[in-house]
Structure 1
């Protein structure tokens, strides 16, 4: 009888302890602060944005791997990515014979001209899976904050097409295994993809990495779309429809 009493007491105590710890446990889930994410993407645009001779923006991608605190509450643009020289980054990604910059906490790419075609910036950074600029970057800091930003969304016909040799899907599966905060971010919808089934294609990203869209220096959206849920429509429409809608 005494033994049974103590067993019941132990079960009750364990339950109370679980209820006490649960709020703290749920709050410790690692997610990017979306307001900080907007500031980080704006930092990329201010420092590394690729433009042509006439000042028109061109496609580029940037990826970082930094301590988690910098993506949550301790982002300071004056002390962010200080080991990367912005001019060196821009020069490297503008050179279409190579198009890739590899730094300590940051990698970046423009496009690379080869055999009459341009290799896309996302593929340049993410491939080959397991031995790419991205995988090497991730290996430098475990349990971190890793963000991949592409100016235009990954193209449906190549980057998000499992049958194409330069697709990024296997690389995203590999990145999924990296611990810490992860975010795949884009600004514009690739100009040739606006009439395609973007939700189905973008869900190939979401199944591995949380997807976000940042449209201005202070506005980002979590695209969501996990499982059978609907993706946020603001991740599927033209940017002017978002900025000028009521």
Structure 2
């Protein structure tokens, strides 16, 4: 009798663990569809057709990141008007959009003097300041949903992933980790100035905090892994 109860207890723990894992993990096929939806509706493109860096994040009901969900204009981010998002993130004096379930950013031109200016990166615009960022405000709207952060080009090593830089995103990611629900940090391309750097080590900084993915088409995303002693999957590297 005791042995039977012991086995039942183990089975219950197994089922609970399996359920917890499924709740906390995004369906990778659905993630690919979501990223494709971003690219189709919010992608930042110059007048000459050249794609420019942008980032976006959502906080949506959990079922919208689970198997068999197909995002469309009539069932996904219905309060966000694509033209409004694009106009906001293309304006380099502000470069920020904050909606009901979506935030997005381009790059913001910061002028210090006539001879000195720099571009604030889209990831930093969304994740800083860490305790009161657009991402924090978005997450506060739904405590147990699905939150996805997508950046067109991978976070840069020298600024976004450099803990010594004031504009790094690592503290913002740690704040995000404290939030409940499903989480996924995804990127598509590699920042052109970083392809020769040690992205194995740099991407592990992200993977140590939130699950990292690379999404390359409307049907294909790769789980980059990289947690603990696990290496970053080669498909997530140049």
TM-score interval, normalised by the smaller of the two chains: over 0.9
TM-score under structure 1 length normalisation? 0.90
Map of 1:106 onto structure 2: 102
Is this contact kept in 1: 2:34–2:71, CA < 8 A?
A: no
CA positional deviation for 1:19:
3.0
Map of 1:65 onto structure 2: 59
Map of 2:142 onto structure 1: 141
Map of 1:177 onto structure 2: 178
1:45-84 alpha-carbon deviations (Å, 9 max, x no partner) = 0000000110110000010001110000334313100011
Map of 1:22 onto structure 2: 13
Instruction: Note if 1:207 corresponds to 2:203.
Output: no
Instruction: Note if 1:84 corresponds to 2:80.
Output: yes
Question: In angstroms, what is the RMSD of aligned CA positions?
Answer: 1.1
CA positional deviation for 1:191:
0.3
Is this contact kept in 1: 2:37–2:71, CA < 8 A?
A: no
CA positional deviation for 1:180:
1.0
CA positional deviation for 1:13:
4.2
Distance in 1 (alpha carbons) for counterparts of 2:94 and 2:132: 17
Q: 2:43 aligns with which of 25, 49, 64?
A: 49
CA positional deviation for 1:138:
0.3
1:153-181 alpha-carbon deviations (Å, 9 max, x no partner) = 00000000000000001111111111111
1:121-161 alpha-carbon deviations (Å, 9 max, x no partner) = 00000000010000000011011100000000000000000
Q: Which has the larger radius of gyration?
A: 1
* Residue segments in structure 1 that go unaligned for 5+ positions in a row: 1-8, 238-246
Q: Which runs of 4 or more aligned residues in structure 1 lie more than 3 Å from their structure 2 counterparts after TM superposition?
A: none
Is this contact kept in 2: 1:106–1:137, CA < 8 A?
A: yes
* Residue segments in structure 2 that go unaligned for 5+ positions in a row: 112-116
